[in-house]
């Protein structure tokens, strides 16, 4: 979670000042000349930069709520200001169209701030996506290496087990052969003893 320091909310205050300052510009941009349009363009860039900075400091969700609050507050103050000082703003009549015009100007600059926030967040998500893709490739490579090593270990264990079985079978075969050899020798010995006994008995007779 982003650590929100109180100084971070100064950007929201700057955005509110920019939106409020737009009330003192002429509403007819192109008839007033390129100079007035340039001022509007600069204010839009500043609003965009404020949104970008607020996304960095206040995070996307909280920063969006702050910008929305600034827009609502600025619209309310602008309506109040234009209603009280209508003559200063050159409005002979407080018709709905004039109010809507000032409201739309405030919303436009606020939308530029939201646009800056969205662009910043998209770039962050894209960077995280690239990082996640690299991590996924690394994990896949590690899994492939692990799978290869596991196959080597299994193959080595299979060969060792076959070697152990072969050696065990050889030992068993040797033991059986010795047993058979001992049995043969015992039979020969018994047969020899029987012949000696018979021979001895025949000599006594």
Give the phi and the psi of residue 67 in degrees, each rounded to 5: -65, -40
In a domain, 115, yes or no: yes
What is the 8-class DSSP label of residue 27? S
In a domain, 116, yes or no: yes
In a domain, 197, yes or no: no
Question: What pTM was computed for the model?
Answer: 0.58
In a domain, 147, yes or no: no
Burial class (CB in 10 A: 0-12, 13-18, 19+), 37: middle
pLDDT band at 205 (very low <50, low <70, confident <90, very high): low
Given a cut of 50, is residue 30 above it in pLDDT? Answer: no
Q: What is the pLDDT of residue 3?
A: 65
CA distances from 47 to 24, 35, 78, 83, 195 (A): 16, 18, 17, 25, 124
In a domain, 168, yes or no: no
pLDDT band at 22 (very low <50, low <70, confident <90, very high): confident
Instruction: Return the percentage of the chain with pLDDT > 70, whole number.
Output: 83
Burial 156-176 (b: 16+ CB within 10 A, else e): eeeeeeeeeeeeeeeeeeeee
Burial class (CB in 10 A: 0-12, 13-18, 19+), 73: middle
Burial 92-105 (b: 16+ CB within 10 A, else e): eeeeeebbeebbeb
In a domain, 104, yes or no: yes
36-39-44 Cα angle (round to 5): 130
In a domain, 1, yes or no: no
**pLDDT tens figures, 104-147:** 888 888 888 889 889 988 988 888 888 788 888 888 888 888 88
Residue pointed to by tokens 């996924």 = 136
> In total, how many domains does the chain have?
1
In a domain, 189, yes or no: no
Domain that holds residue 44: 6-137
């Amino acid at each position: 979670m982003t650590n929100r320091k109180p100084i971070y909310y100064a950007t929201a205050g700057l955005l509110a000042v920019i939106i409020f300052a737009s009330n003192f510009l002429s509403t007819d941009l192109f008839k007033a000349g390129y100079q007035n349009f340039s001022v509007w363009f600069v204010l839009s860039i500043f609003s965009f930069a404020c949104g970008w900075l607020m996304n960095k400091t206040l995070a996307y969700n909280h920063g969006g709520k702050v910008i929305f609050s600034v827009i609502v507050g600025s619209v309310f103050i602008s309506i109040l200001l234009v209603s009280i000082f209508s003559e200063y703003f050159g409005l002979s009549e407080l018709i709905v169209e004039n109010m809507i015009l000032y409201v739309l100007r405030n919303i436009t600059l606020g939308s530029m701030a939201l646009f800056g926030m969205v662009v910043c967040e998209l770039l962050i998500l894209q960077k995280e996506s690239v990082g996640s893709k690299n991590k996924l490739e690394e994990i896949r490579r590690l899994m492939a290496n692990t799978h290869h090593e596991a196959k080597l270990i299994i193959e080595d264990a299979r060969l060792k087990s076959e070697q152990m079985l072969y050696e065990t079978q050889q030992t068993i075969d040797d033991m059986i052969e010795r047993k058979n050899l001992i049995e043969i020798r015992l039979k020969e010995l018994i047969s020899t003893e029987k012949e000696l006994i018979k021979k001895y008995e025949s000599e006594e007779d």
